[in-house]
Amino acid sequence: MAATFDSDVRIYDFIKEILIECPKCGECARVKNESEDLLPGDTQLTCLSCSYNRVLQNNSKSILSEDIKVSQTGMMIIGEAVDSYFHQPLWLRADCGGNELWAYNREHLQWLHDFVSAKLRERSQGEQGWNNRSLVSRLPKWLKSKKNRDQILKCIEKLKNKK
């Protein structure tokens, strides 16, 4: 287990490449955004199993919330168990003691592992003082709770082994 964890990582740091369930065959597919500003117009969904391919039309709307309804169209959804652009279910998701554990990609999953396994989770001030934009500040309480640590780490290991 890591001794400490200090991070100013934001959820946006993980949405350049998202692993999803292919809408055609159900295997692992990838949603990739090449744009610096993460605009949806530069986003492509590709499945290596069935060759399904889709490019997103340009759309500048975005929403960051835990209360978003996935059925909304034309919106960039961030912070849900669906990809931000096409709103397809994430590949890396699992039931974890009645809660849904999910990650956008393997890098995000490793970050969650490092966070959960840390014995001391410190936050540091940015250049402009304390802010509420870090991913740590937006994680649900059940994921931060020490009593859930072992169960969460088991779920993370299960997702790490998902092909």
Q: Are 84 and 108 in contact (CB under 8 A)?
A: no
Tokens representing 107?
């890098």
Task: Name the one residue in this structure whose structure tokens are 């299960």.
Answer: 158
- Which token pair is 136? 């740590």
Do the Cβ atoms of 45 and 53 come closer than 8 Å?
yes
Output the CA–CA distances (angstroms, integers) from residue 108 to 56, 74, 93, in the order listed: 23, 25, 12
**pLDDT tens track of the chain, all 163 residues?**
554 565 678 888 898 899 999 999 999 999 998 777 666 567 889 999 999 998 876 554 444 444 433 334 456 777 889 998 888 999 999 999 999 999 999 999 999 999 999 887 776 666 766 666 778 878 899 999 999 999 999 999 999 999 8
Q: Report, in this order, helix, strand and coil percent for the chain, each rounded to 5.
A: 25, 30, 45
CA end-to-end span of the chain, whole Å?
25
pTM confidence score: 0.82
Q: Where are the alpha helices (DSSP H) in 5-148?
A: 106-117, 135-138, 141-144
**From residue 12, how far is each of 15, 95, 99, 144, 145 by CA, in Å?**
5, 23, 22, 20, 23
